[in-house]
Amino acid sequence: MLVLTKEDIKACFSMSDAIEASKASVKAYSAGQAKVPLRVNLPVNQFNGQSLYMPAAVEGDINAVGVKVVSVYPDNIDRGLPSVPASMVVVDAETGVVSAIMDGTFLTQLRTGAVQGAATDLLARKDAKIAAIIGTGGQAIQQSLAMLTVRSIEELRVYDINLERAQAFAKELDDEFGKLFNTKFIAVSSPKEAVSGADIITSVTTSKRPTFDAQDIKPGTHVNGVGAYTSEMIELPAEIFAKAETIVFDTVDGVVNEAGDVMNALNTKAIQETDITGELGQLVLGSITGRQSKQGITLFKTVGSAVLDVVTAQLIVKKALEKGIGTIIDL
């Protein structure tokens, strides 16, 4: 069995690799090649925790089986441990043998950034130069890297409700990616400063109210909604859905039933379900049209899917074995 740490994954699997994996994942899902049971949530009340199990299987061009185990233990902070530890178990599709286990936290960050990168690649204008990231939490690095990977970004603006956090994050981005991408990273003090004139906007927060005003969005912008994944969270304003010429979700069922900003847009009649263009996988398959005009606003919303985990993990294992990365153990 192969064991892969975060550093192992980073050493063998790039964001470009992850974006291609995401395209393969959503393509398989929309083509009906994936089985994704409902996640299992086991409360562990004695220790104020819960353990969640997210399985999936994919058959087709890529055969992938696995389960991600994510636990939520708020008291772990007092123990000096992560409050949301996660591990990914990869199963060999042909034999049923567990073939690998890897860091599930970084995998989640990587594949969530990558699916946004896939959507941005397919929907944003080719000449996009200015990007904005709203939110500087654990997902923000990979979200930023995904935008930088698919477009030649000259300026990336960073907004957070805490300006000091935004400034620190902009510096972190500059230290890690400034020379690599020749990009200028700027911390701004308001959402309006972040989004005005931006070609690509990614909001990755757990906000319960919109993180920007739709009237500040210029024609031709591509908008990604990544953070709001429960019915209480509303980070995208209903008006931006109404203004969008193209609305694409990672999975329509998942987004319509889980994302508060989409529920809000539907409930307020800003849009109807018939206004939803379709799924990202359908865009990859070529069965729906993405950007229709240079001036149109395009929108992508994701709540995630276990398909992204199992396919990405399977391809990480393949790359790691090819490059001799990781630790092999016998059970």
Q: Is position 167 within any domain?
A: yes
Q: Is position 139 within any domain?
A: yes
Q: Is position 187 within any domain?
A: yes
For residues 157 and 188, the answer to whether their CB atoms sit within 8 Å is yes
* Residue 78: partners with Cβ closer than 8 Å, 6 or more residues away: none
Ordered DSSP codes for 114-125: HHHHHHHHHHS-
pLDDT of residue 38: 87
For residues 134 and 159, the answer to whether their CB atoms sit within 8 Å is yes
Q: Is position 293 within any domain?
A: yes
pLDDT of residue 163: 97
Q: What CATH number is given to the structural domain containing 211?
A: 3.40.50.720
Query: Which DSSP letter does residue 34 get?
Result: E
Task: Tell me which residue range forms the domain holding 298.
Answer: 117-305
Q: Is position 7 within any domain?
A: no
The conformational region for residue 96 under phi > 0 = left, psi -120 to 50 = alpha, else beta, is left
Q: Is position 101 within any domain?
A: no
Instruction: List the beta bridge partners of residue 298.
Output: 222, 246
**Predicted TM-score (pTM) above 0.75:** yes
Instruction: List the beta bridge partners of residue 301.
Output: 225, 249
Tokens of 96: 């049923």
Q: Is position 19 within any domain?
A: no
Please give the tally of structural domains in the chain.
Answer: 1
Ordered DSSP codes for 70-90: EEE-TTHHHHTS-SS-EEEEE
Give the DSSP H/E element, type plus range, for residue 317: helix 306-323
* Residue 285: partners with Cβ closer than 8 Å, 6 or more residues away: 27, 30, 31
pLDDT of residue 83: 85
Residues in the chain with pLDDT values less than 70: none
* Strand duo 222-225 + 278-279: pairing: unpaired
Tokens of 167: 């400034």
Q: Is position 255 within any domain?
A: yes
Length of the chain: 331
Give the DSSP H/E element, type plus range, for residue 41: strand 40-44
Ordered DSSP codes for 151-185: S--SEEEEE-SSHHHHHHHHHHHHHHHHHHHT-EE
